[in-house]
């Protein structure tokens, strides 16, 4: 009986299955570890936003030594992400997929993500994966805050009838 | 110069693997992330958890070995950032943006990779946001 109840709960929590999520997560972790073991670098996708700006902005903030010295490998990492996802769809013959989330949600949300991840010193990869893997209290606090707020905001948006 | 090339090659291969993982887990789809945030499908927890566990094993074994990375000579260590007000305020602002768009930086680039060109709106927004943050930090310094 208890087993059936647990099984029901799992189906409710993961209506689209669990395997592709877990396997994808493990592959993401493998990419992080590969870079870490060879270079000692701990990746974070949002730092790459700032280092990209350092190529064209003369503002002193963006011309920090930390950004200049890491911008080449961070840019290469970003290009790798794009090409990795692209190769996956090409090799498996997956059709091109276009989001139905409205463009203004992506743009406005993106601006908040840009400000918030830089102020907060990391995003889902930097804090969420690498920070939690480092058992960093800073990252745990940041992840709990952004997860909680995002869950509330997503519910509010659905509540006012914006779908998707 | 030769060493720099090795670093970039290793990082590129790691990026490829990372991008494949994002595509496999469908974090490239803002809809899937929004389904999680609306608590209809908790799969995202498995993605973040799976990634963190694998990274934790690599980070901790390497750090405990006391060795240095072959390509850079950098000592293996863990990710440490100071916990201050910025971490919390930044988390709130990021949470608002993630809740609105269902997109975060790494996933946005992977989404572009699977041909979802509309995601360029999010990428433009994120770079603009990071720029605003830099301008604010710069003005606070002066």
> What is residue B115's DSSP assignment?
T
Chain A residues in contact with B67 by the CB 8 A cut-off are: none
**Is this complex scored with an ipTM above 0.90?**
yes
The CA distance from A1 to the nearest CA of chain B, in Å, is: 24
Distance CA B98, CA A147 (A): 9
The token pair at A105 is 């949600």
The token pair at B16 is 């490829």
In a domain, A41, yes or no: no
B95 close to A153: Cβ distance less than 8 angstroms: yes
Q: Which of B12, B20, B124 to mutate to test the interface with A (most CBs of A within 10 A)?
A: B20
Check A155 against B38: CB less than 8 A apart. yes
Give the three-state DSSP class for A1. Answer: coil
Residue A122 domain boundaries: 98-164
Q: What is the mean pLDDT of residues A69-86?
A: 98
The CA distance from B6 to the nearest CA of chain A, in Å, is: 9
The CA distance from B142 to the nearest CA of chain A, in Å, is: 11
Query: Which residues, listed in sequence order, are joined to residue B80 by a DSSP beta bridge?
Result: none
pLDDT of A1 above 80: no
**Would you state the pLDDT for residue B1?**
53
**Would you state the pLDDT for residue B2?**
61
In a domain, A17, yes or no: no
* Neighbour tally for A159: CB within 10 Å: 8
In a domain, A124, yes or no: yes
Q: Which of B13, B98, B103 to mutate to test the interface with A (most CBs of A within 10 A)?
A: B98
The beta-strand segments (E) located in chain B are none
> What is residue B68's DSSP assignment?
B
Averaged pLDDT, groups of 10, chain B, 142 residues long: 87 98 98 98 98 98 98 97 97 98 98 98 98 96 76
What is the domain count for chain A? Answer: 1
């Amino acid at each position: 009986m208890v087993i059936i109840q647990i099984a029901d709960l799992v189906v409710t929590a993961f209506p689209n299955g669990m395997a592709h999520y877990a396997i994808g997560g493990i592959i993401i972790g493998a990419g992080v570890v590969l870079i870490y073991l060879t270079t000692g670098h701990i990746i974070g996708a949002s730092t790459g936003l700032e280092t990209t700006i350092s190529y064209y902005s003369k503002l002193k903030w963006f011309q920090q030594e930390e950004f200049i010295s890491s911008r080449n490998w961070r840019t290469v990492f970003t290009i790798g992400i794009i090409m990795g996802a692209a190769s996956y769809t090409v090799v498996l013959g997956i059709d091109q997929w276009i989001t139905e989330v409205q463009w203004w949600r992506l743009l406005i949300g993106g601006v908040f993500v840009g400000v918030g991840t830089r102020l907060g010193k990391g995003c889902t990869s930097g804090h969420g994966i690498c920070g939690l893997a480092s058992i960093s209290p800073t990252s745990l606090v940041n992840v709990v805050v952004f997860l909680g707020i995002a869950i509330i905001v997503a519910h509010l948006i659905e509540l006012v009838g914006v779908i998707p | 110069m030769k060493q720099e090339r090795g670093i970039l090659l290793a990082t590129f291969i790691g990026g490829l693997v990372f991008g494949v993982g994002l595509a496999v887990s469908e974090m490239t789809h803002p809809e899937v992330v929004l389904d999680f945030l609306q608590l209809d499908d908790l799969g995202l927890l498995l993605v973040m958890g799976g990634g963190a566990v694998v990274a934790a094993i690599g980070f901790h074994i390497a750090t405990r070995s006391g060795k240095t990375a072959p390509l850079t000579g950098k000592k293996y260590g863990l990710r440490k950032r100071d916990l201050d007000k910025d971490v919390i305020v930044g988390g709130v602002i990021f949470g608002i943006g993630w809740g609105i768009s269902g997109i975060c930086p790494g996933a946005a680039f992977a989404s572009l990779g699977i041909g979802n060109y509309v995601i360029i709106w999010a990428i433009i927004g994120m770079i603009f946001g990071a720029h605003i943050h830099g301008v604010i930090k710069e003005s606070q310094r002066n």
